Amino acid sequence: MDPLTHALASYTLKRAAFPRVPRSVTLAILIAGTIADLDALSAYFGPSTFLTFSRTYLHSLAAALLLGVLATLPFVFRKADATKPLPPRAIIFAAAFSAAVLHLLPDLFQSAGIELFWPFSSRRFATDWLAHFDLWMMAIFLAGVLLPALSGLVTEEIGARSKGPRGKLGASLALAAVILYLVARFVLHGNALAALESRTYRGELPRRVAAFAESSSPFRWHGIVETERAIYEVEVAVGPSANFDPDSATVAYKPESSAALDAARDTAVARRFLQAARFPKARVEKTLQGYQVVLRDFPYGRDANSGRYVEALLNTDPSGKILSEELAWIPAPKGS
């Protein structure tokens, strides 16, 4: 999820569950709820570092627990001030830890995946319910923050007194609306998967399918279908009157097995790349020295959290002996 939505979610959580904490604690909540996205800066240190750190260590429950502790520490050593009393340390920890966990949930519901149980497991979890930038979720959080503020201005103008902390009701309703939205996304995602699995593709049955969320509408999904010989990319519409045409899919055929491809897949670089890839697609090209094998995640250009996409480049001699191997950024399309 984009950093702005994470910040709005953390502030909404603060208003709904911890409405009376002072500004210093609010700042700690916002930091705990957004700081995990610092791992996106790993892109500036190269593709290998990016694959190692992006949505891995900081996007885990262990990191959320550590962030909760770190956010609480400044208040443990802070001198008591009778004019500005602080809430109990347990409340501060609970608020910061809750914000850190809330950061993980939207990212878990996307397609890039997070290593939720690091350091005990390096498995990435992804449900594919949400797009990286979800307009609807951002709109819900914005409404939960802004509408109570506008309502408060009107209340003050007419001289009425508000009951309870300002913004708590609006924030609570926003969180409830987000839960309902996620349930709807879950149901529609299941419908999209069922549509993909129920068809044949050029005479072949699906081996694996995935439906990636579109930001503009929860009724449109980007389908990926893997068969024995190919990978298909197709738009899927769900709803009462939606029609799905598998013949409109774009096809990318898998390369034939070869010594170069088998050797490339067995390298450390390929194994590192395949650990993060959802639908890896190989391309084998003849070169002067032998062959070049290119591995990309299909479709490599959708729903990435940094705008940068990684490929594995492996060169072999004619017999399949590895000459070089590296992770590289996929070049931007011409004219972009």
Is pLDDT of 307 > 80?
no
pLDDT higher than 70, residue 83 = no
Question: Is residue 160 predicted with pLDDT exceeding 80?
Answer: no
At 197 the pLDDT is 96
Residue closest to 287 by CA, chosen among 323, 251, 312: 323
Question: How does residue 333 score in pLDDT terms, banded at 50, 70 and 90?
Answer: low
Q: What is the pLDDT of residue 320?
A: 92
Give the pLDDT band (50/70/90) at residue 164.
low
Output Rg (C-alpha) for the chain, integer angstroms: 24
Q: What is the pLDDT of residue 216?
A: 86
Task: For residues 283 and 290, give the distance between their C-alpha atoms in angstroms, rounded to a whole number.
Answer: 14
In tens, the pLDDT along 227-248 reads 999 999 999 999 888 888 999 9
- Residue 329 phi/psi, 5-degree rounding, is -75, 140
pLDDT band at residue 306, thresholds of 50, 70 and 90?
very low
Are the C-beta atoms of residues 18 and 86 closer than 8 Å to each other? no
Give the pLDDT band of residue 298 (cuts 50, 70, 90). Answer: confident
If DSSP codes are grouped into helix, strand and coil, which group holds residue 330? coil
The pLDDT mean for the chain works out to 89
Q: In what order do the strands lie in the sheet with 291-297?
A: 280-286, 291-297, 310-316, 322-329
Query: For 204-217, how does the pLDDT look when each residue is reduced to its tens digit (9 = 90+)?
Result: 999 999 999 998 89
What is the predicted pLDDT for the residue at 79? 72
| Region of poorest pLDDT, from 165-174, 256-265, 267-276 | 165-174
Q: What is the pLDDT of residue 152?
A: 54
Span 37-70, pLDDT tens digits: 999 999 999 999 999 999 999 999 999 999 999 9
Task: Judge contact between 14 and 165, C-beta under 8 A.
Answer: no
CB atoms within 10 A of CB 88: 9
| Residue 22 exposure: Cα atoms within 13 Å on the Cβ side | 10
266/60 Cα distance (integer angstroms): 29
Query: Are the C-beta atoms of 275 and 48 separated by less than 8 Å?
Result: no
The C-alpha atoms of residue 149 and residue 155 are separated, in whole angstroms, by 10
pTM confidence score: 0.88
CA atoms within 13 A on the CB side of 267: 25
Contact 272, 51 (CB under 8 A): yes
Q: What angle do CA 100, 105, 111 make, to 5 degrees?
A: 130
Q: How many CB atoms lie within 10 A of CB 132?
A: 21
DSSP class of 163: P
pLDDT at 115: 95
* Whether pLDDT at 255 is above 90: yes
Strand partners, 314: 293, 325
Pair of tokens at residue 3: 């950093």
The pLDDT > 70 percentage for the chain reads 90
- pLDDT tens for residues 87-116? 899 999 999 999 999 999 999 999 988 999
| pLDDT tens figures, 11-44 | 999 999 999 999 999 999 999 999 999 999 999 9
304-334 as b/e: b if 16+ CB within 10 A: ebbeebbbbbbbbeeebebeebebeeeeeee
Mean of the pLDDT values across residues 186-211?
95
